[in-house]
Amino acid sequence: MEIVPDTSVVIDGRVSEQVEADADPASEAVGEGFAGGTIVIPEAVVGELEAQANDGRQTGWEGLEELQRLVALEEDGVVDVEYVGRRPDAIEKRDAGEGEIDALIRDIAADRGATLLTSDDVQAEVARAKGIDVIEVEPRGRDVDHLAIEEFFDDETMSVHLKTGVRPMAKRGSIGEMHYQTIGDAALTEGELREYIADIEEGARASPDGFVELDEPGMTIVQFRTFRIAIAQPPFADGLEITAVRPIVKTELDDYEHADELRDRLLERQRGVLISGSPGAGKSTFAQAVAEFLADSDYAVKTMEKPRDLQVGPNITQYTALAGEMAKTADSLLMVRPDYTIYDEVRKTDDFEVFADMRLAGVGMVGVVHATRGIDALQRLIGRVELGLIPQVVDTVVYIEDGMVDTVYDVHTEVKVPEGLMEEDLARPVIMVTDFETGQPAYEIYTFNRQVVTVPIGEEEGPGSESGVDRIAKQEIEREIRSVAQGHVEVELRSPDTAVVWVEERDISGVIGKGGGRISDIENRLGIDIDVRTFAERPEGKTQTGGGGGGSGGTGMQGKSVVPEITSRHVIIPLEGHAGDTVEVQADGDYLFTATVSRGGEIQVSRGSAIAEELEGAIDHGRTITVVPS
């Protein structure tokens, strides 16, 4: 009897198992005539297994081990083994999931009049339809109570990290108090890691509580009960690594502060909610509590996750990226029409666009976002969603810290004069971000002179410090004046609607313009009265740093040399520790431009702009770039 096995039974080890059962007189298994017959191995099977092994997939290694067992059985005289056919080409290997290799295997069985052995339902049905004899066996499985890797977990362990040549590590503690620590005495060997990997992948295939979420060359992600397990292998990683994560707390909405108010808000109507916080703060745990509360409140709730790891009940269907794209998942969900969708997590521009599209289509959305402040989560929408639509996309921001609700913001639009501005004709749509508990405004977001600005409201200012509006107004005045001035510029705000601009003598006529027309245009755009004067008119002279100075300027920073970094989109000047400072950038002492250091401690200049070209030219000519207080 000739048997042609396909890839599925070779990986499962079912071929040698059937041969050994037939050869064992004491076996109670029903004989199929395998022993004493010929096992015809298609080269297409060998090629597919080899490709999987080269990609670092455990299934390929398991299949190759099965072929070695068959060779050993042939050497013992139990069965004959013959390799036939051609190897699949690159396109056929790529399209293995489309049935190309299965077709090659069926052709061999048909040409030889042999029996096809498979555990693949589709393969079996197609073969029968073509008149091929088929033996179909159940996929090999086992009862999986636990995984070997669970030995590293205790009640306080959130994640375990195993890597070849490194002692086992784990994150243990409570939410907000996690510590990364060593949990083993000996470094792990590659053999030990491979045993854990084989156990994880077999458990995911065999258990109804497990599945493979992602299987790419060098990276496999498995979901097994509450464990999300990432397996990294070369060449993607520099060594074998297993990272297993599980939630250590499951909460209900009642466990959080503002629970009653949040319940009423979520049930009032479908909303757009961003849940923000630092990694490990408990965002996903809170999102799970919200999901289950909504489901218990008779809402149809779905999730969008990649990978799927929210711990929710069976009444909430969890979706992942369809064909690798969350946009396709969203299209499918719009057909299902859930009341609320939990999006875990919203990170990339595509994610924010999908979130916004679904919300504007009328679906209630709850998104999980990494952010170190609540307002930062909202600011990540700027530039990705039209400014006027932001309150329609997100009307609630919840900031989680140390597993607790720290802050809740209400987001809505008002047409008003922004806080700190005076002229009535400066009224515009303003996104108001208010504290949900007190109702007090916390931030305003609006367009100021074609720039989107986020201004904190009601923050206590130190002696001599500038308000958020003052800083923005000063920056915008400087930007306008520098567009027409060649030399040094300084701005002094005298009141919310008046300012004095100090310029070099040679720039005075160019800034004022013929008949005062140029400065009038700037005043009208900014809504601020500007008095233009020369530094010579200043009683104390030019007190702050000019074209080649290096004083402290009141910022606490002396002139310092910097090494800018040039990326594909920006020229970045690192200035850690000086966030919020206004500084001058110079090349060999010559003034280039003035900028405000970002919250992240750097200045970013977009490549292609006139400033960037001048800065890059200075760098190319080896000039020393320095930064001094402005």
Note whether 521 and 566 are same-domain residues.
no
Spatial contact of 200 and 211, defined as CB atoms under 8 Å apart: no
End residue of a domain, out of 181, 213, 245? 245
Tens digits of per-residue pLDDT, 221-269? 898 888 889 999 998 999 999 999 987 777 888 888 888 899 999 999 9
Residue the block writes with tokens 């997939």: 57
553 is a domain residue: no
Note whether 312 and 398 are same-domain residues.
yes
> CA 510, CA 506: separation in Å to the nearest integer?
8
Tens digits of per-residue pLDDT, 120-129? 889 999 999 9
Tens digits of per-residue pLDDT, 491-520? 888 776 788 888 888 888 888 888 888 888
Note whether 520 and 571 are same-domain residues.
no
CATH number at 197 reads 3.30.450.90
547 is a domain residue: no
545 is a domain residue: no
pLDDT, greater one: 191 or 609: 191
CA 266 from chain centre, in angstroms, equals: 26
Which residues, in sequence order, are CB contacts of 206 under 8 Å at separation 6+? Answer: 140, 141, 142, 143, 144
Note whether 527 and 620 are same-domain residues.
no
CATH number at 89 reads 3.40.50.1010
* Alpha-helical regions (H) of 76-189: 90-94, 100-112, 121-129
Which residues is 344 bridged to in the sheet?
305, 368
Note whether 176 and 126 are same-domain residues.
no
Residue the block writes with tokens 């719009």: 334
Whether 549 shows a pLDDT value over 80: the answer reads no
CATH number at 390 reads 3.40.50.300
Spatial contact of 69 and 16, defined as CB atoms under 8 Å apart: yes
Which residues, in sequence order, are CB contacts of 97 under 8 Å at separation 6+? Answer: none
Note whether 413 and 532 are same-domain residues.
no
Note whether 306 and 396 are same-domain residues.
yes
Nearest to 166 by CA among 183, 149, 147: 183
* Burial zone of 330 (CB within 10 Å; 0-12 exposed, 13-18 middle, 19+ buried): buried
End residue of a domain, out of 245, 265, 294? 245
Note whether 267 and 378 are same-domain residues.
yes
Range of the domain at 582: 560-629
Note whether 49 and 131 are same-domain residues.
yes
Which residues, in sequence order, are CB contacts of 190 under 8 Å at separation 6+? Answer: 164, 239, 240
Please tell me the predicted confidence (pLDDT) of residue 353. 93
| Long-range contacts, 531-537 (Cβ 8 Å, 24+) | 531/498, 531/499, 531/500, 531/501, 532/500, 532/501, 532/503, 532/508, 533/500, 533/501, 533/502, 533/503, 534/502, 534/503, 534/504, 534/505, 534/508, 535/488, 535/490, 535/502, 535/503, 535/504, 535/505, 536/505
141 is a domain residue: no
- Residue 93 phi/psi, 5-degree rounding, is -65, -40
462 is a domain residue: no
Tens digits of per-residue pLDDT, 35-85? 778 999 999 999 888 888 886 676 788 889 999 999 998 898 888 999 998
Note whether 119 and 264 are same-domain residues.
no
> CA 199, CA 193: separation in Å to the nearest integer?
10
pTM of the complete model: 0.58
550 is a domain residue: no
Note whether 358 and 220 are same-domain residues.
no
504 is a domain residue: yes
Whether 281 shows a pLDDT value over 90: the answer reads no
Note whether 476 and 445 are same-domain residues.
no
Q: How many domains does the chain have?
A: 5
90 is a domain residue: yes
